A and B are shown apart, each in its own frame.
Chain A
Amino acid sequence: AQTVTQSQPEMSVQEAETVTLSCTYDTSESNYYLFWYKQPPSRQMILVIRQEAYKQQNATENRFSVNFQKAAKSFSLKISDSQLGDTAMYFCAFMSARSGNTGKLIFGQGTTLQVKP
Chain B
Amino acid sequence: GENVEQHPSTLSVQEGDSAVIKCTYSDSASNYFPWYKQELGKRPQLIIDIRSNVGEKKDQRIAVTLNKTAKHFSLHITETQPEDSAVYFCAAPSGAGSYQLTFGKGTKLSVIP
> Does B associate with A?
no
Q: Which residues of B contact A (CB under 8 A)?
A: none
Q: A residues bordering B, Cβ < 8 Å?
A: none
